[in-house]
Copies of this chain bind each other. A is one copy, B any other.
């Protein structure tokens, strides 16, 4: 790669380079029946050759049983209490936890006690302490945190390019994720705006975690310190510090990632990695409903790669199921997600104090 050749690198652009020869079906209990679960996760499970939804769990018995009645593979519609009581636990092998952040721990705890594999949405929990408890209770079961960028083909190829030296030494990263949350939910009491449910804040916890985690993944490195600036003006953001946020991740050798995130801005997402020899840009990248695009530049080469778009959620569920069936540990495991939680806490502390906050000792 040091000669800048791309020979062979893109032959298997969307190939599942992580796929083992395991086969079978992982049966899921879906915990939390919000729009994300119903419109994004469950269709992805249906599309995955290794997954099936057999149980749904909701605060409303009616919503759960209605869904069970109308969905081809769902056998049981449970309340949260029934889930905690172990009802129909023989009907599923794994759980997908897509509740508000601060509720992840309790469902993970029950799932682990029932010896189920766990795919838990990110951020892992509302606070570092609760995330640590989550890792502890899941010690004896498979735990994956749902970072769908880890199996996004464009992100994986960007990572391959960085690892192979295509951009030379990485010098700096720009990343952003913004969306108009209030248009999406039309609910000023949405849980992402409630610190009791969301945790440290609204924009960095929910969106900033994408450039944060994807930078860690693509660079295969963790930051040593962070700084941040945050501001909330809109009434709906009165309880969280970060209607608008920017944060910097400091890696070794003077490499920085500068990131922005806002739940109250036009939808946009990108990740740009600049090196001594070239540059990669993913734009858009983080939203599942937009086609991903990878631009690569080096010397006279400036190409935007065209490739089959993969459904990010199908890839994620299939990867998780493959790991479970192959009895292998998933890469974005509990420790990996816990590191993000510690970095997120540091970012919010930096946003509050203005200081550079070290994280190297904690990771």
Contacts and interface: CB of A to CB of B under 8 A. Distances in A.
Given A276-B266, A297-B266, A229 B256 contact: yes
A8 interface: no
A173 to B, nearest CB: 8
A259 B246 CA distance: 11
A360 to B, nearest CB: 14
Interface in A171-226: 171-172, 174, 176, 178, 180
A260 B176 contact: no
A122 interface: no
Give the contact-size bracket for chain A.
Answer: 35 or more
Given A172-B176, A248-B248, A260-B174, A266 B167 contact: yes
Contacts of A278: 266
A339 B143 CA distance: 53
B248 A231 contact: no
Given A172-B176, A233-B253, A268 B260 contact: no
A219 to B, nearest CB: 14
Contact of A268 (B262, B274, B356): B274
Contacts of A168: 266
B265 A246 contact: no
Given A176-B172, A246-B248, A254-B244, A276 B264 contact: yes
Nearest to A353: B356
A243 interface: yes
A39 to B, nearest CB: 20
A286 to B, nearest CB: 14
B178 A171 contact: yes
A250 interface: yes
A338 interface: no
A90 B278 CA distance: 49
A51 interface: no
A77 interface: no
A262 B227 CA distance: 20
Nearest to A256: B246
A101 to B, nearest CB: 23
30 contacts: A171-B244, A171-B260, A171-B262, A171-B264, A172-B176, A172-B246, A172-B260, A174-B258, A176-B274, A180-B276, A229-B256, A230-B254, A232-B254, A243-B254, A244-B254, A244-B256, A246-B256, A246-B258, A248-B258, A256-B260, A258-B260, A260-B274, A262-B274, A265-B275, A265-B276, A266-B274, A266-B275, A266-B279, A266-B298, A354-B356
Interface of A: 167-168, 171-172, 174, 176, 178, 180, 227, 229-233, 243-244, 246, 248, 250, 253-256, 258-260, 262, 264-266, 268, 270, 272, 274-279, 297-298, 354-356
